[in-house]
Structure 1
């Protein structure tokens, strides 16, 4: 018996939720731990930085006192501690070593994001919207579940890295509360009607044969178009981090100023006429998975990545559902010197691979092992979108049969396929079309409300942190806030 090199487990993605009620699940992309972090983190660390295996770390620069006030937003203070904690959260969630120089370059955008969140929080409170502790707890549970973490592991992980749990809770509270604000904003516009769905279906049929792109974006607004050097430099910094391995959804959730940030930057399937012309020219040529250079659009810069390309009406894929059982290791695996516990785990997994058949039996086995990873790793999965290793395992695996033991650094997985079939995913169901139309309404309402709130806000920042200028609440002349990226006319099939 011998151990092979650790098998890199796929981060099996759940299908993208399009409805507004499901969008709340999108902030699970805020922390893709520990899988994404473990894959991205460099092996070395620098003296005097706080480093832990498998996730990001930040070199501690000399900073002003933590309670130093950086500015006020409608009278509410923003402190050095707030910015420092958000930076640490970003470092942890990306799994990258963040140097003092990089953190300094990220600082203006972190401050800008915190200013926007303060404004949103004040509107949430003004409307007497109460985000229940149970909602926040469920959100944190979702993050842990999607990343195979046991209950309360995220709290412990943050504490280990010196990140206040309040930092994550505040970010989640704003996102949940803001979605409730948007519900109020669009409540008077009624539900999506059968006529609207029929019109979109007719438009889709008329567009059959045209190209579509599955695009994710990070939008960085420019405060003054005449002087965009700071924003351009920040955009280039983010691109470098993405190309070094920072997960796109996490960076988008942290820094993008488009509404798509709530869903990790995902725009879904869009047509060319719903994208900015400069973006169209880029996505036509980009290979899938590449990260673009900065693209200048109205209101700022955008970074895009293409997750897929298809022709409207034609995209057959293989859909699979999977169950797994996970045999955890008590310590990280050294393939050259496995421990007795790891050898025993391999023996048990090998025996189970021969004797366990069917999804119910696999779920029962995983339950008996303590469910360190969820039995269902992601609902219906598109086989062609999985990483090559996982695709190879599942493509030839008969339904109901167990896979060979798949060894990783923290344990051994067994997989079984519950169902497998072909689906034309370019065809949208009426419910998917309704979700897409509702998302368009939400995006429009969010952009308009953010502009109105910023226009009415009084933002006063310390001289060396000029992320926003002070604005009197009644001044509506010649003081438009930075424009959000226009997504153009919603295209048939967008979703």
Structure 2
């Protein structure tokens, strides 16, 4: 007797063959081109339009609510500031970090209000004026740019308000309390002398904090997504300015020259194996994840800021380890929406698009599959990827686990898939690929010792300023962490 699961597996493959043969991939590309931009007040967390007159809430922070239109508008602003394309996929990748930033800003504004700190509109206008000057635009031109990207001016105003308020909070509660003693300066000078001749690195960073274990996975995935965007062409400095959670974000993520021991063992070992111009990470430390851009390298104590000459390195292609499709398996579900007639095909496709935007995970997908009343919809069980059509096999290996696939459109209707579990072993590397990987990962040669002029020591004033900045950064992170831990925060997306 043939099991129901076997019948369903055969149905999903047959259905997918029909849909893909009728141009499902082209339909998805065309849909991405023609989709209208989401408007504030009617946007889902993925950046698509959601029908209905009632504004949906993305998060509640103590007594304040963050709407989904707030999140979408801020995502658009973040992508604009970072020089990243404003596409549904790009918005989806940055939304977790954007929502967390909005939560932090609500906490910062609430703390400023508790301390009696307010930001006059004039200060906000002046700050935005400086932003416009920095990008060589007049205020009307800046407003026009925001409008062209569907970003309300109020979104930028609120971001600036939160930044200014938090600066005043830190000035009142932290910076005046930092005192650096002579013994601390002496100890720092001794550490500098001990590091003379060792490599130091000119570094910029994107830092994403982790305050509790349940945030770890999301922070790591966000860091990986930001690295992907930078590899696609986004500017590192712009991305750091918009998404990094360290004080260096205001300075394009620039940390200056970093000496051994300044940022911990994990960072030291990563920098030691890096080369100028290389982006590395994400690196996990006690505070969170760091994405590092190594801009230059020199010996501690050398004059100037020239990069030390590097021994020539052959160009090495890093091998990409491929998935073993013959052994790959996925646990997947499907929603089949057949079209009752050719005339109703367009409406069926539109209904599938609307449904796809409402799916929140595998459990929700299962409920919506049952609600369709279509027998072919539901749990497909575990399927061998090799048994699927090639295009469908590639799709189920690439879509994120727990997120619905794009709507696959065909002449007979529409299909939505979701992968709830994936076992995708990798093909072993060949001996040649292993050799390539070892060559690509080989650390650069150590810098030559400092010769000629004696090492240049920093002044005591420079060291004091450096220590003050380090202490202020640490206390600022702790302050915000304590606000997060004591607040009532409810995420609804």
- TM-score range (shorter-chain normalised) is 0.5 to 0.7
Counterparts in 2 of 1:95 and 1:132: CA distance versus 1, 3 Å: same
Match of 2:173 among 185, 202, 219: 185
1:290 matched to 2:320? The reply is no
Match of 1:256 among 234, 239, 244: 244
8 Å contact 1:317–1:425 — kept in the other structure? Answer: no
Alignment TM-score, normalising by the size of structure 1? 0.56
The equivalent residue for 1:157 is 145
1:208 matched to 2:196? The reply is yes
Shift of 1:163: 0.8
SS in 1 for 2:202: strand
Counterparts in 2 of 1:73 and 1:190: CA distance versus 1, 3 Å: closer
Counterparts in 2 of 1:429 and 1:149: CA distance versus 1, 3 Å: farther
1:449 matched to 2:492? The reply is no
Shift of 1:49: 5.7
Counterpart-to-counterpart distance in 2, 1:223 and 1:196: 28
Unaligned ranges ≥5, structure 1:
1-44, 52-58, 319-422, 466-495
Shift of 1:452: 1.6
**Count of aligned pairs between the two proteins:** 309
Counterparts in 2 of 1:427 and 1:101: CA distance versus 1, 3 Å: same
Alignment TM-score, normalising by the size of structure 2? 0.56
Counterparts in 2 of 1:253 and 1:208: CA distance versus 1, 3 Å: same
Q: CA RMSD in A?
A: 3.3
Counterpart-to-counterpart distance in 2, 1:100 and 1:121: 30
The equivalent residue for 1:68 is 56
Counterpart-to-counterpart distance in 2, 1:113 and 1:190: 27
The equivalent residue for 2:90 is 102
Counterpart-to-counterpart distance in 2, 1:119 and 1:70: 15
Higher gyration radius (CA): 2
Per-residue displacement from partner, 1:41-97 (whole Å, max 9, x unpaired)?
xxxx9344669xxxxxxx962346682112211110110111011111022122332
The equivalent residue for 1:122 is 110
Structure number with higher helix proportion: 2
Counterparts in 2 of 1:440 and 1:107: CA distance versus 1, 3 Å: same
Counterpart-to-counterpart distance in 2, 1:153 and 1:310: 42
Counterparts in 2 of 1:136 and 1:112: CA distance versus 1, 3 Å: same
8 Å contact 2:119–2:164 — kept in the other structure? Answer: yes
8 Å contact 2:204–2:254 — kept in the other structure? Answer: yes
Shift of 1:429: 4.6
Shift of 1:214: 1.8
Counterpart-to-counterpart distance in 1, 2:139 and 2:470: 35
Counterparts in 2 of 1:133 and 1:234: CA distance versus 1, 3 Å: same
Counterpart-to-counterpart distance in 2, 1:147 and 1:239: 24
SS in 1 for 2:234: coil
8 Å contact 2:58–2:71 — kept in the other structure? Answer: no
SS in 2 for 1:295: strand
Counterparts in 2 of 1:180 and 1:425: CA distance versus 1, 3 Å: farther
